[in-house]
Amino acid sequence: MKTIDTTSPILSARGVQHSFGPTEALRGIDLDVHPGEVLAVMGPSGSGKSTLLHCLAGILAPGRGTVSYASRAKAPVNISGLGEAERSSLRLTDFGFVFQFGQLLPELTALDNVSLPLLLGGTKRSEALHRSADLLARLGLDGFSGKLPGELSGGQAQRVAIARALVTSPAVLFADEPTGSLDSLAAENVLTLMLDLVREAGTTVVMITHDARTAAYADREVVVRDGRLSAGHRVAA
């Protein structure tokens, strides 16, 4: 088990509440996520765990409470106090995202899907393609760059989605059920490859899962039930 820096959180939630109409999704969440940590957020369907991820990532602004982010190069910022344009910029530059079904653009090749975040950030196309091809190769997809998402297996497509999320070298990777649509063997392969890359880079990971086998790959688990957080614990090595 690696040593986690617990002195200065990279993400910190305090008193986070959020509702969808009359339904309370989060009921006062306090949570610190530390640099380089792989955190698994568990809980049953409808418990609020995905809403928590969306608040931590700036996709949603919580109804009450604050979420702060201490980036590698800037002073800590209150994400929950930013406007949508500022949160969108932060998500592009500092955060990466992997979702259960990949959400690849079907009309783009694997290489172009991975390159897209770099191009949106202003990277020259030649450099973006080079970096993307290198990352695809590291994920075992050398030779698949020209394939469309519909021509890939589920595990291959999810590895493309992981490459797209990591190509910008994000400080934090948010993964919402990243292997939930895969069979057990493909899930293990995808998860191992993803975590090898993020641990090598020192990337912080917030991973939503309902699967105890997936959570066992993390450094720490917390559980969300009915919009409230249970105490986290270290995962045994």
pLDDT tens track for 4-41: 555 689 999 999 999 999 999 999 999 999 999 999 99
- What is the average pLDDT across 129-150? 95
97-110: average pLDDT: 89
Collect all residues with Cβ–Cβ distance below 8 Å to 55 and sequence separation of at least 6.
13, 16, 18, 26, 29, 61, 62, 67, 80
Predicted pLDDT at 232: 57
pLDDT in tens, 162-172: 999 999 999 99
Q: Tell me how far apart the alpha carbons of residues 68 and 55 are, in angstroms, rounded to a whole number.
A: 10
Work out the pLDDT band at 235, boundaries 50, 70, 90: low
Cα angle: 20, vertex 22, 28; to 5 degrees: 70
Q: Quick one: fold of 11-234?
A: Rossmann fold (3.40.50)
Largest pairwise CA distance in the chain: 50
The answer to whether residue 190 scores a pLDDT higher than 90 is no
Q: Which of 142, 146, 140 is nearest to 108 (CA)?
A: 146
Mean pLDDT calculated for residue range 109-123:
95
The pLDDT value recorded for residue 233 is 55
pTM of the full predicted structure? 0.90
The domain limits of the chain are: 11-234
Over residues 73-83, the mean pLDDT reads: 83
Position 73 scores a pLDDT of 61
pLDDT at 74: 66
Q: How would residue 184 be classed by pLDDT, with cut points 50, 70 and 90?
A: confident
Measured distance CA(137)–CA(141) in Å, rounded: 5
